[in-house]
Structures are given as structure tokens and as C-alpha cells.
Structure 1
């Protein structure tokens, strides 16, 4: 605590405090500062009367400094006058202000319901105003989109009507807020008038104290009771606050002057008030160092309220000096608050740059020439992404908010107009496409019960292919005609598959028998006798062929059988070419069973190609031998070449045998 004895003599602090007056017409916007990071209220009062004594009038620099200091004092006094009218108003500072501009319509409705249900109605006005503004803008954007869809589907603008359950839910919550607010103001007006009457009565009693002929101690006790009644009476109308308080304070000072008859009582009261005010100064100086600027300013308002309403005057020698110390701490806090506002302004300016960039991107898309449905769908997606970016960026400076929103809406509407014009032209083609698809539906429905599968199957496949090529039809008809077409095609192909399944019963039996035979082959072990083992293999191959063909979707079992034959032959000690020919013959049997001459042709072309390649390699090796003149035949290089020539000739012989086997099949 500051040392009372070190305070110099000074002139009346209370006179300075008294002269800080306020406009009775402070607008709704000029209330105490909202403590949030998304919006800055204009807190400068409409008018102020400066407290300037004769010395300040002769010193311009001192005048400017005090003018700035008194400005924030007036702002604090205005806020406290407002709080005096509405004691619940200060509660709004503790209500979180969310990023309403990033919320969906449903989230805004839910937040509105929560505020109306859980918070004091007089404390949420700024929140409700922000929510209401965002909801209106976003719902209008939704309405524009729905109207656009309606027109694109062929509707007339005059017939457009859209109702949203979210809108209904929002309106119910907003109406409940209006009802509660009206009820609050009705009760408030009644209470304010009664409280004003009670405080005026207290002032009249104060006036009479100095005329009462009674013991001074009894009078002083009566005076303290009146002070307590004043503090507990409750709020009064804002426009009566300053006059009532000034009158009350004036008569309190008169009473203290009256107490000169009993200086002990007065000095005791002065000492108590000085101690409390020094504590307030100490707390204000601590708040000046607080990093949370808005929290510090809110508490500073409360300190000013305590200084003015809860405490009386101090001895004249201390009045001005302690008031100047309090004002100095107040100015320091306010300077930090102004710097905070400047930072907020920078954020808003940055948001403005981002939103203008989004608008430029939309306008750039509008400038593109687009003549296809797919290209328009891509642009629609791009515009939707840009709209989401715009809504998620955050607030911009208030003075350009409406113009920025208007520019954004106009750019989106320009895009919608261009899109609508394209799709209106496209609708003509869509109705032509609709007629074409209806014709295909008639063909499909006329043939869905046909038993002439050879003729009808290609026809049904063709109309399915034609359907894909026709293009878009009006959205309202798309699902309906597709279901009809799909049902007719499915009916035909279900019948076709059922018939084929009946015909393929024999093939299914062959498949099941081949599965059993394949398991037997996998378990077969060589007996060590080459002739018997080869005979066993050929017996399995013949049995396999006798079982017949399997369904096309189960032909994979042929590959498994060939693999089992190859595995068995690999384990036999036989000539490599002999084993290869047995495997090849089995392969040809499988190809001939498939009735696919193309497979046989491919195999013949492949073998001929291999024969040509081997012959070419043999010729190349024989040509290479001519370079080895005067070289002995046992030379390692020469021996390697002769070895390669022999291997290639053996391979050539094998490929020729395979070609002969294929020719036998033709």
C-alpha cells in the first residue's frame, strides 16, 4: 500500500471526479467494451465534458493529455451508468463470443437456442445480433441455391417456394428471445422508476440531516444508514443516473462539512476512505501490467464504480494526488487497450484481403468460357469450395462488411446466371435425349420375354450400349426411366442365365467329376517304370477328355490339370523333349476342346515365330565359326559354339514336331 504520510497536499479529488460528466444520449453501440476476439465495439462516447482547471487552460500540452485521459474516464462512467440501469448487463462480458461466421445454419440455430435458454436475455444482445446477421446471409445464399435448382429443373420463378426446418427452428428461438426481452424491459422500467423514487427520498433525508437537533453520533449513524440504503437500492434509469448521483454526492459533502463540529468522526471516515482508495490504486497499477488487456479494463471499470459509489471523500490534502495516480494507471490500461484494438484491426484487414482474393477467383471463373456439362460441374465444385473459404475466413472491418458481402453475392449470382443460361439451352437436348431413351425402354420391354436368345441377346447388348451414348435427360425423369430400362434388361438376362444354367447342367457335372479326378492325379506317385508312368499319365489325360467340357466360368480347372500333369512328368527320368511333347499334346487337347480356332491359330503363329528365331540363331552361330580359321577344334570357344549350335538344332527339332502336331488338327 502507498504511504499516506508521503502524499503531498492537493486540491479536492472529488471535485475532479464530479466534473467528469456524460452524455445522456449515449447510443447502444457505445456501451462498455465487449471482451471477445471477433468484434470491437466503438466505445467512444458521443460527447464529453472535460475537467480542466484554470492552469490547464493555459497549458495546451497538459490540456491534450488530460483530454485523452478524461475520454476513457467518460467511457468508464458511461459504462457504469449503463450497468447501474441494468445490473445484469455486466454478465455479457463472461459469455463466450464464438466464430459465428464459420458456423452452419443448424449450428447457429442451436447456439441461439442455448443462449436464450441459459443466459440472461439482457446480456446477449450483441451475440444475438451477430448470429441473426450470419443466419440471414447464409439462409439467403441457401435460398438462392434452391431457387437455382428449381429453375434448372424446369420450374417457373413465380412458383418457387422453399421451407426449411432449420429456419422454423431458428424463428421459434428468436421469437422466444424477443418475448423474453420485452418482458425484461417491462419489468425493468417498473423497477427503475421505483428505485429512482427511493433514491430521491434518500437525498431528501440527507438534506434534512444538518437541520436535525440531536446528538451528532446519532446523526452520523443515520447518515451511514442512508449511505447503505443508497448502495442497496438498485438501478435507476440511465438518463437520471448522473444527476441523481451528483445530487447525492453534493449533499454527502455538505454533511461532511457539517461534521466539522465532530472532527473525530469525519477524520475516521476520511482515513477509512483513503485506505480503501489506496488499495484501489494499487490494484489498478497491477492491472496495468496484466497481459490480458480486456480483462484488465473490465476490472478497471469495477474499480471506478467502487471509487465513485462505495467510497466517500478523503481529506483535501490527499484528494487530488490520489486521483491523479488513479488516472495515470487508468490511462496506461487504456493505452494498451487501444493497441489491442489496432491489432484486431490488422487481423480484420488481413481477412478483408483474403475475402477479396476469393471474390477475384470467382470472377476469374466467371470470365472462363465453358460449353460442356462436365466442365460446368467442375466449375460448380470450384465455386462451392470458394464459398466455403469465404465463410470460414472471419470478420472484416465493419465499414466495409456490407460492401464486401454485396460484392461476393454479386459474383456468385453472376456465376449462377451464366450456369442457368447454359443449362436452359441444355434442357432442349435433354428432352430430345429423353425421347431417345424412352424408345430404347420400349425395345427392352418388348423383348424381355423373348426365347430367341441368339437374336435377342445382341439386340439387348446394343441398346444398353446406345443408352450410355445418349447423354443426360431432365433430372426429374432420370431415376424413373433408368429403373424401367434396368428392370426390362435384368428380366431378359435373368431368363437367359436361367436357361443357360439348365443347359449347362452336364457341364457342371463334368466340372465336379474333373475336380475329383484332379485330386486323384495330385496324389499319384511315379512307380519307377518309365513306360508305366507315361501310360498312367496318358490314361489320366484320356479320362479327363472323356469327362467333357466344363462351364466357361470354370475353365480355370483346365490350367490346374495341366499344371498337375507337368508336375508329375517333371519327376520322371525321361528325355526332356519327350516330356515336353507329352505336355504339348495335352495342351493341344485343351485348345481343341475350347472350340476356339483363334487360340489354335495363335499357338501355330507362336511356334512358327520360334522356329524362325532358332534358325536365325543357328545361322548366326555357324557364321561366327567362319571367323575361327587356323583354330583347333578343341579350342574352348569353338567347343562352346558347337555346343550352342547343337542345342539350338535340338530345340528346332522339337518346335518342328510341335508344328506337325498342330497341322494334324487342321
Structure 2
């Protein structure tokens, strides 16, 4: 090959040998005989561009934090080796300088990563201590459903956290695992007791159903209704049966009651229809009874009331929904007649009237005696005695006035 081609960073001689210049001097990097020297220079230049691109990408990845310090260091060593043995034309020394410049950046990134890991480890330690503390509280609680759910959530939180030092992580994990085991053991024991209690409740309720069904055909409405109330009280006290049978048991128990109460309601409905006529009779009686109000003649009202009461009793029962209204109205009349009679008796009680007369007589005689003594004291001009006698006289006079008023009430 007779042509010789030159490049800013190397050349191709007449034998096709390719050389590159570096700070250490010129070295042969290959031979070119596949085409013109210019084509050879272009190919070796493109190899350099590839190396330069790798260096640039490494710089950007390190700057952007998309590569770890360790991976970046390995990449630098790899590219450096490629540059050292490169069969490329270009400023290889500048690429080495750029790689050298990455070392401080890698060291800085390594320190930042280290500090970041330390911070995350510290946060993880706080978080794991919090998880363990909460788990230990749950282990002693009786909130079985929410407790189990929360422990599962705490386990997922634990898994998402980074590990601590082996000793610290193992110690916290042991506490966390023990808390979960304790809660699970206590939870199983609790539900074991619940299962036993539910089975006992099932047996009790099955017996109550037998009793309820035996009563369902009874026509002793009042006593049987009371027995059903007692059975319901026992049912509630029995507690819950297993979930898969509780609803079935309740439906059977309720069905037995429904048979009885439906039959009772049908009878009562029929009676209410029959008693409706009685209610109309009692409304007519109430018209006569309420004419006695207000009571002005207690004795006449008392005599009339006896006849009304007999008619009322003879009228018979009324529908249940009318009973309260009718009874309240007749009781109003009865109470008015009774109160008027009692008031009349009190005002004409001969014994009380006699006591009042006797009291008036005694007071009058006592007043006369005091007045006689007062006349003598005035004659003797005994001021002190006059004052005492006058006070005594005023007191006795006041009692006399009261006794006369009471006597007037009996007249």
C-alpha cells in the first residue's frame, strides 16, 4: 500500500500499520488493508467515539444516581482497560483523565449511600421497635379478630423494612415472633372455650324448643304466655349456639311461639268483636254516670252510683283497645262520688263536733277567769301582772276563734 494517511491522534503508514499517539508515545494499534487509508482512519475514529460515548454515559449515570458506587467503580475499571488496550484513534489520554475525575464522585456517592443506609437502618430500628411494642400489647389483649388482622399487617410492615445488624434484628424478631405466638395460642384457647360454650347453648336451646313446641297448642292464654316469657329469658341466658345452627334453632323456637300467639290473637279478635256490643252498652251507662258530675248532693250521688256500678258490671267485658278509655272515665265518676261522700262525713262527724263544742266551752271559761283576774290587776295597778294576763288572754282568744271556725265546718 503506497498511500500514507494521517490523523490528529495517529496515522497509517505505507504498510497499512495503524498508530495512535498518547502521552507515553506512539503505539501500533492494528493494520488496515481492507480499503483506503482514509476509510481506515474513519473506522478507528469511530471506535474512539464509542469509547468516548461509554465514558460520557458513565458520567451521566453517576451524576443522575442511576448506578451504584460499586457498579460505577467496576465500570470505570472496565472502560479504563478498554482505553488502555484500545484500537482506536483519538485523545485516549483525555478519556483516562475523565475516568480519573470520576473517582471523587464515586467516593462521594459511596459515602452518601452509606449515610443513607445508616439513616434507613436507624428508621428501621425505630419502626421495628414500634412494631414489637404494639405486637406485645396485642398479645395480651382480647380483641381476637382485630388483633389477628393487625398482627398480619405488622408482619407485612416488618418484611418491607431493611435488616438491622444480625444481633439487633434477631433480638427484635424473637420478641415479635413470641408476641404473635402468644396471641395465637390465647386466641385458640379462647375460641376453644367459646366452642364448648356454644355447644352447651345448643343443647339448652334444643330443650327449650321441645318445651316451646309442647306449649304451642295450649289454650290457657295468660299462664302460657307467661311460660313463653320465661322460656325467652332462658333462651337469652343460654348464649349463642354455633353459627351454623343458631338461626335454625331460633326459627324453630320462634315458630312454636308463633303458633300459640297466632291462635291466641285469633281468639282475642273474635272476643273483641263480641265485646264491641258491651262497649256500646257501657258508653250508654257512662252518659248516666257523668250526669252526676259535679257532685252537689253526695247522698243522692252515692245511691245513684250503686245502680250505675251494678249496670256497669253486668255489661261485661269490652275490647282490649277500648278498655283503658272506658275504665278511666267510669273511675273518674266513682272517685268524685267517693270524695264527696268522705268530705260530707268529715263535716258531719258527731264525735268531732262534740269535741269542738267541749273545747269552745273550756276555752270560754278559761277566758272568763283570765278577764276576772285582769280586772283585779287593773284595780291594783299591777302593770307587770296586767301585761302577763293580757298576753294570756290574747292567746286563749285566738284558740277560741280557731275552735269556733272548726265548729262552723261541722254545722
TM-score of the pair, normalised by structure 1: 0.32
Structure whose CA Rg is larger: 2
Higher strand share: 2
TM-score of the pair, normalised by structure 2: 0.49
